[in-house]
Amino acid sequence: MKQITKYVIKNSLKRIFLYRACLVRLRMMGVERVFSYTLGNETGVTPDQVRKDFSEFSIKGNKRGGYEIDELLSTMESIFHRNKDHNIVLVGMGNMGQSLSKYSRFVQRNMNIVATFDIDPFKQKMRSDIPVYTMNRLKEIIDRFKVKVAIVAVPEISAQEVTDELIRHGIKGIINFAPVLLKVPPEIVVNNVNLSDELESVIYYVHNLLKADGQKNIEYYTRL
Amino acid sequence: MKQITKYVIKNSLKRIFLYRACLVRLRMMGVERVFSYTLGNETGVTPDQVRKDFSEFSIKGNKRGGYEIDELLSTMESIFHRNKDHNIVLVGMGNMGQSLSKYSRFVQRNMNIVATFDIDPFKQKMRSDIPVYTMNRLKEIIDRFKVKVAIVAVPEISAQEVTDELIRHGIKGIINFAPVLLKVPPEIVVNNVNLSDELESVIYYVHNLLKADGQKNIEYYTRL
DNA sequence: CGTATTTTGTGATTTGTTTCACATCAAAAT
DNA sequence: ATTTTGATGTGAAACAAATCACAAAATACG
Ligand SMILES: NC(=O)c1ccc[n+]([C@@H]2O[C@H](COP(=O)([O-])OP(=O)(O)OC[C@H]3O[C@@H](n4cnc5c(N)ncnc54)[C@H](O)[C@@H]3O)[C@@H](O)[C@H]2O)c1
Ligand SMILES: NC(=O)c1ccc[n+]([C@@H]2O[C@H](COP(=O)([O-])OP(=O)(O)OC[C@H]3O[C@@H](n4cnc5c(N)ncnc54)[C@H](O)[C@@H]3O)[C@@H](O)[C@H]2O)c1
């Protein structure tokens, strides 16, 4: 009973990510507390929106005193389940897969790629920090590391087949870089990232903005 | 007068990309015409929404006869300015930059990376199809190839500085892979792609869906 | 040729999101 | 201790997006 259940990250959640990144930076700069005004200014969001977003996630501040950054960050950590580590597998060690496997920021955020998989024996011989396995070890690794989330970085043609296999072995969430809409059962979370579309949309907006020349941006964009 | 003007791709435009990819596939399979119902089914969108989207972009079909795929595709091509080529520059030939520079699908969609740039002399010596230049040739290349759009794939710390330089030399649109909100004048289009956030949001949704277990998806997601 | 059928295109309605406005509280000032 | 000030938190209002519903148009069929 596979079906297309596309989802996009809710804007309010995207903004929470934004706030967090900003808070981490401010904290490193020695700042201890923020107001919705400060945070809004820093992230290009109105203070009202910041407070509404916090309200949605039941994040509380101190009347008049604003928000204590450390407290805010630890509240966010528990919202995002960042207190514990998350094991991830990556399928497809081509250009994209290799690049992602080396990306240190995932680890910094407690997202560990514990193993990668590829059908190409040459890729399997690659020396790398993270092991590259054949597909037949998929189940073993997913079970051993209690992996719930996978990165799909295989060619378009193989993406659905790989996805089916991942789900069969217990994967619940997928971030997919292949330019296809994966069909999955409704309880599976899929985030389709299509970089060609992202780039092309920039071109589209550049052209239309140049024509429109100025204030009518709203017609073409949606604010985050 | 730099400021934060974040924009996200409008959902209706995202869906148009979706329709197009689907239409290309159907066309290759020999299908000649579609109905909003077919297309919706194929992309997980309601037929009403398909027609509303087409209406927004003034795409017309034939009452009763549906849409002729070829006609639809060529209308879309002109909407997306795909009739002409688009020259792009890429700054930062690290893991991500190299991967993107090899991505053939950009070229397939008439988006040509004409040159790449890096401060690292080692990267400049790299043999690759696309030339790697020092930053001081940026202006020359941008002018020569009439480049309007750039890909930023440098570390977080350098992203703003590189962006400023790109804009100074006439770039109007940027897709940014560094996890920072770039500050740009309001007439510049920026698409900030943050892959850590995308991955983390999958984890977030997986956890919350598992808890919610079933139909209340709507609470956590926004449909595309 | 006219009637039934099917699908588009778009106002009207509903649903969702952002902005506004202000009561509420906590701290600072007097 | 009381007033003033300044920020939060959240209903209400305004705005935006998605769904519904149906008239209009094109085709099929008797
Ligand atoms: N390269 C990029 O910058 C880029 C950008 C955006 C999207 N993408 C998408 O990401 C995906 C990967 O792109 P790439 O450039 O890394 O391609 P690639 O060809 O370099 O790598 C694909 C890898 O997947 C492996 N593979 C193929 N079928 C497999 C299967 N059934 N099971 C396991 N592994 C399999 C191949 O052996 C290869 O190593 C593609 O869908 C592409 O469209 C790539
Ligand atoms: N690697 C990934 O998979 C990945 C994923 C998501 C986001 N990103 C982001 O993309 C960016 C690049 O990541 P990466 O992994 O390729 O890093 P990297 O360190 O491999 O590459 C960065 C490149 O930028 C060059 N550079 C640095 N400063 C520069 C400057 N001022 N001008 C020109 N070039 C400069 C460096 O010489 C290097 O070649 C980072 O911001 C990173 O956070 C990377």
pTM of the model: 0.92
Spatial separation of the C-alpha atoms in residues A192 and A180, rounded to whole Å: 8
pLDDT at B217: 31
Q: Which residue among A81, A98, A105 places its CB closest to the CB of B203?
A: A81
Predicted pLDDT of residue B221: 36
**The two structure tokens encoding residue B41:** 């089914």
Phi and psi for A159 in degrees, rounded to 5? -60, -45
Q: Alpha-carbon torsion B177, A173, B214, A19, what sign?
A: negative
Ligand 1 atom showing the smallest separation from residue A154 Cα = 24
Residues 51-90 of B with CB under 8 A from A: 79-81, 86, 88
Q: Which residue is nearest to nucleotide C24 (CA to C1')?
A: A63
Q: What letter does residue A219 receive in the DSSP assignment?
A: G
CA→C1' distance for B65 and D26 (Å): 7
pLDDT tens for each residue of A173-216: 999 999 998 988 888 889 999 999 999 999 988 987 655 433 33
**pLDDT tops 80 at residue A3:** no
Q: In this structure, what are the phi and psi dihedrals at residue B176, rounded to the nearest 5 degrees?
A: -115, 120
Distance from CA of A10 to the nearest CA of B (A): 5
**Residue B65: HSE in the Cβ half-sphere, 13 Å Cα cutoff:** 9
- What integer pLDDT is reported at residue B84 of this predicted model? 87
Q: Which ligand is nearest to the CA of A165?
A: 1
Spacing, Cα B158 to ligand 2 middle (Å): 9
Q: What is the pLDDT along chain B (224 residues), one digit of tens a residue?
A: 466 655 566 889 889 999 999 999 999 999 999 999 999 999 989 999 999 999 999 999 999 999 999 999 999 998 887 778 999 999 999 999 999 999 999 999 999 999 999 999 899 888 888 999 999 999 999 999 999 999 999 999 999 999 999 999 999 999 999 999 898 888 888 999 999 999 998 998 898 765 443 333 323 333 34
Class of CATH domain A3-79: mainly alpha
Return phi, psi of residue A117, to 5°.
-135, 145
Residue A220 token pair: 């073409």
Residue A5: the pLDDT is 57
Residue A93: what pLDDT?
97
B-chain residue closest to A97, CA distance: B99
Strands A67-68, A33-34: pairing kind: antiparallel
Nearest alpha-carbon partner for B169 in B194, B192, B146 = B146
A86-193 adopts what CATH topology?
Rossmann fold (3.40.50)
d(CA B2, CA A125): 48
The beta-carbon neighbor of A210 closest among B86, B172, B196 is B172
Separation of alpha carbons B91 and B97, rounded Å: 7
Give the model confidence (pLDDT) of A56-101 as tens digits: 999 999 999 999 999 999 999 988 877 789 999 999 999 999 999 9
What tokens appear for B47 in the block?
């037929």
Cα end-to-end span (Å), chain B: 34
Domain ranges, ordered by start, for chain B: 3-79, 86-193, 194-224
Torsion A148-A153-A154-A157 (CA) sign = positive
Q: Which nucleotides of D are covered by protein (CB under 7 A)?
A: 5-11, 16-21, 24-27
Which of A107, A189, A221 is the best mutation test for B, with the most CBs of B within 10 A? A189
The answer to whether domain B3-79 and domain B86-193 are alike in fold is no
A46 sits within 7 Å of strand C by its CB: yes
* Closest protein CA for atom 18 of ligand 1: A94
Question: Greater confidence, A8 or B74?
Answer: B74
Burial degree of A91 (CB within 10 A; 0-12, 13-18, 19+): buried
User: Which tokens go with B147?
Assistant: 């480049």
Q: Do A21 and B179 touch (CB under 8 A)?
A: yes
Amino acid identity of residue A3, one-letter, is Q
